Amino acid sequence: MEKGKTRTLVQDVAKLIKANKISKADIKLLDKNLYDEAVALAGVMTEEEVVTNIEIKPIVKPKPVPPPPPPPPKPIPQPEPKKEPESKPVQKVISVPVKPVPPPPPPPPVVLEEKIVADINNLDIKIGLLNKKKEEILSEKNGLLSSLDKVRAEEKKLETDESDLSKKVESAVGLSARKTLEEKRWTIEDERQKVEKKRFEIKKSIDVVDLQVTQNQKERIHLEEEKSLLERKQEIEKAKKQGEKAKTDKQAEEKVYAGLELKKRSFETDWIKAKEGIKHIQKETENLGKQTQEIKEKIKTLEQREGNAINETDRHEAETNRWELDKQLREVEKKAWSLEEEGEKKTNEVSDLEKIFAQLQEDEMKSKKKIFEYQTLIDKAGV
């Protein structure tokens, strides 16, 4: 090409812009610098320089190049088949039973009553420390009060001295005398102010100590109230514990009482039988006594016949009859003796039964009292 006739991209775009043959969509695809140069050039171009036969091809955005396909997966080598091991004789496994490990014992339960006692002891320690602190505070206050008394005495003396000097100033004659007295009064006034400041500081310290005493008292009252509640709780817990024990003791004592009642009824039955036996013996003894009396009267009659017998035959007959009656009398007397022995045994038996019965009644009353006391503890504990 000739010099000056070289076509550039800027010139071509400028001609297209000048000829209105480029769309806004195409403009957006152009480089900004290129577009700006082309617009500037189109503004100074003449109509003759515009080439109208330029073929306008749409500016196509380059398509993205697809990434290369991934390489095919490498073939996985198949594992070689394992060789079966030579068969060996199977050994029989004998399972030995294993004892299960017992779980660890549970921790001992916290006894509420022991915890309350520990809390009360801790409160006692705190109250003791507060009491000791109170003594220290009161000792400090006493020291401050003692210092305050000394300061007040010193203040009183300075007030008196200053008052005396003021009176002397009023009655002084001459400037020199008044000046000397006033300067002395100033010195006393300065000392007085120092003492007053000291008194004020001591009084403030006493107020602080008083607040400490009040706070100490409040803390002690709070701890003592807490201790009182714990002691009440301890009493309740103790009563509850006693009540639970009383329930068990009551059940056991009720069995004792039932056994005593059973024994008492058994001995009472034996006592009634023995008493009935004594009555029967007494009745039999009375009957034998009557028989004895009758036989003795008959013997007496026969003895009279013996004495009045006319001949030996009558006498012998009376004697024979007397012998028979005497034989009967002996049998009756033997029965009477046997009954008397049996009656003594029955009487002794009744006496022994009454002693046993009396002891059972006493044991029964004691058992009944215990049951009542156990029930009282149960009711008190509300268990």
163 with 286, same domain: the answer is yes
18 with 117, same domain: the answer is no
**In whole angstroms, what is the distance from residue 81 CA to residue 359 CA?**
100
Residue 216 within a domain: yes
165 with 233, same domain: the answer is yes
Residue 249 and residue 369 in contact, taking contact as beta carbons nearer than 8 Å: no
- Read out DSSP for 133-165? HHHHHHHHHHHHHHHHHHHHHHHHHHHHHHHHH
**In whole angstroms, what is the distance from residue 292 CA to residue 328 CA?**
9
35 with 152, same domain: the answer is no
Asked if the model's pLDDT at residue 73 lies above 60, the reply is no
What's the pLDDT tens digit per position in 324-366?
Answer: 999 999 999 999 999 999 999 989 999 998 899 899 999 999 9
294 with 174, same domain: the answer is yes
Residue 220 within a domain: yes
Residue 302 and residue 320 in contact, taking contact as beta carbons nearer than 8 Å: no
Residue 75 within a domain: no
**In whole angstroms, what is the distance from residue 202 CA to residue 151 CA?**
9
What's the pLDDT tens digit per position in 138-172?
Answer: 998 899 999 999 999 988 999 898 888 888 888 88
**Confidence band of 218 (pLDDT split at 50, 70, 90):** very high
Residue 94 within a domain: no
pLDDT value of position 206 = 92
173 with 254, same domain: the answer is yes
- Count of structural domains, the chain: 2
| pLDDT more than 70, % of the chain | 77
Give the total residue count for the chain. 383
54 with 140, same domain: the answer is no
Half-sphere exposure (CA, 13 Å, Cβ side) for 176?
A: 0
Residue 96 within a domain: no
Query: Which range has the worst mean pLDDT, 48-52, 118-122, 168-172, 325-329?
Result: 48-52
Q: Which two tokens stand for residue 382?
A: 């509300």
Residue 273 within a domain: yes
Structural domain containing residue 18: 1-60
155 with 26, same domain: the answer is no
**In whole angstroms, what is the distance from residue 74 CA to residue 30 CA?**
47
130 with 56, same domain: the answer is no
215 with 300, same domain: the answer is yes
pLDDT value of position 9 = 74
56 with 117, same domain: the answer is no
Query: Which range has the worst mean pLDDT, 57-66, 213-222, 224-233, 329-338?
Result: 57-66
CA distances from 328 to 8, 291, 294 (A): 186, 9, 11
Q: How many CB atoms neighbour CB 281 within 10 A?
A: 20
51 with 119, same domain: the answer is no
Residue 69 within a domain: no
